[in-house]
């Protein structure tokens, strides 16, 4: 009803007669004790109660639909829409190239790929699967760690010719460090490991951004030093002008995880997509110095 925009349209979608749909809605409103729809001669729209009820029940209805579809089509190809969210640079470099293979395996899939450095609300944005790099704090989600990739501190040789090469993390106080963060961040904390264990250094620079792509471009242009996962640089590390520094102190890694909403029923399309990326990303990231999850 809410999506169809009227009783007649809902009846056509469901194959029921219009009086039967009207009667079912009336019975539901009577049981709940609230009006779910505003009715006029021209349109039928949700009330505030109706919108809240739809938001609370949508996932349950989708679960039922998914369960019905899987039970009635076990002998058929897995099908349906899969919405995937991933950080922009990692998605461009490592997820987008895998989509054709996924669609070849499951030609009935419809993939909606969201490339964004903003952490999405999976329920609100109706995201089926998120690929995260780094720690995941999602109490209402299932997290599957796939692999881990090392960190690397790099700059362009032209930058180091002008500013010198830092020999220890403490030397970064005299360098222009490009900062990945939210709104303009004047400083950041970079993690290192020394003879006495882990420690961190506060760094500053004249360029900050919530986009890894921006920080990467700044490093490539010789603006300053950046701190990345090797997966975010990929082929850039083979560029003769790009030079890793402080390698004896950079030993940390970042997990690459698959995350999906905690639900009683996980649709077959999400399970198959998760298994595909678990295998494909582990294999693809093996060239980025990944760490076996076991």
Task: Find out whether 131 and 98 touch, Cβ atoms under 8 Å.
Answer: no
DSSP calls for 219-281: HHTTS-BEEEEHHHHGGGGG-TTEEEE-TTT---EEEEEEEEE--SS--HHHHHHHHHHHHHH
List the CATH code of the domain at 116-263+284-294. 3.40.190.290
CA distance linking residue 52 with residue 150, whole number of Å: 44
Kindly report the pTM of this predicted structure: 0.71
Give the start-to-end residue ranges of the domains of the chain.
7-56, 116-263+284-294
Least confident of 74-83, 154-163, 211-220, 276-285: 74-83
So what's the pLDDT on residue 82?
Answer: 94
Q: Does 1.10.10.10 match the CATH number of domain 7-56?
A: yes
Q: Residue 260, Cα to own-chain centre: how many angstroms?
A: 10
Residue with the bigger pLDDT between 56 and 92: it is: 92
pLDDT at 176 over 80: yes
Counting beta carbons within 10 angstroms of the beta carbon of residue 193, is it exposed (0 to 12), middle (13 to 18) or buried (19 or more)? middle
Q: What pLDDT is attached to residue 126?
A: 87
Identify the residue with better confidence: 41 or 64.
41
- Tell me how far the alpha carbon of residue 87 is from its chain's centroid: 6
Q: Where are the beta strands (DSSP E) in the chain?
A: 37-39, 44-46, 80-86, 109-115, 129-133, 141-156, 179-180, 187-194, 197-204, 208-209, 226-229, 242-245, 253-261
Q: Which residues contact 113 (CB under 8 A, 6 or more apart)?
A: 84, 86, 91, 95, 96, 99
8-state DSSP, 94: I
* 262 three-state secondary structure: coil
φ and ψ at 60, to 5 degrees?
Answer: -65, -40
The torsion defined by the Cα of 25, 28, 29 and 32, in degrees rounded to 10, comes to -160
pLDDT digits (tens, 9 = 90+) for 246-256: 999 999 999 99
Region 117-133 average pLDDT: 87
Residue 51's pLDDT is 78
């Amino acid at each position: 009803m809410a999506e169809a925009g009227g009783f007649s349209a809902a009846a056509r979608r469901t194959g029921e007669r219009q009086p039967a749909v009207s009667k079912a809605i009336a019975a539901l409103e009577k049981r709940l004790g609230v009006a779910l729809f505003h009715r006029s001669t021209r349109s039928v729209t949700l009330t505030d109660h109706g919108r809240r009820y739809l938001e609370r029940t949508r996932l349950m209805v989708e679960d039922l639909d998914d369960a019905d579809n899987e039970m009635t089509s076990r002998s058929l190809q897995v099908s349906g829409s899969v919405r995937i969210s991933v950080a922009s640079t990692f998605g461009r470099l490592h997820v987008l190239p895998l989509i054709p293979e996924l669609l070849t395996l499951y030609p009935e899939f419809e993939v909606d790929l969201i490339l964004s450095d903003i952490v999405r609300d999976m329920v609100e944005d109706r995201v089926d699967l998120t690929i995260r790099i780094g720690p995941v704090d999602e109490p209402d989600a299932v997290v599957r760690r796939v692999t881990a990739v090392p960190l690397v501190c790099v700059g362009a040789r032209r930058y180091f010719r002008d500013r010198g090469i830092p020999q220890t993390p403490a030397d970064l106080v005299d360098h222009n460090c490009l900062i990945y963060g939210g709104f303009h961040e004047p400083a950041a904390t970079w993690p290192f490991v020394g003879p006495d264990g882990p420690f961190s250094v506060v760094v500053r620079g004249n360029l900050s951004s919530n986009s890894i792509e921006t920080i990467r471009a700044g490093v490539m242009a010789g603006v300053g030093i950046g701190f990345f996962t090797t997966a975010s640089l990929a082929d850039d590390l083979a560029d003769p002008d790009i030079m890793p520094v402080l390698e004896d102190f950079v030993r940390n890694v970042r997990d690459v995880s698959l995350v999906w909403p905690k639900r009683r029923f996980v649709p077959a399309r999400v399970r198959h997509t998760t298994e595909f990326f678990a295998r494909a990303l582990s294999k693809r990231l093996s060239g980025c110095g990944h760490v076996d999850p076991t």
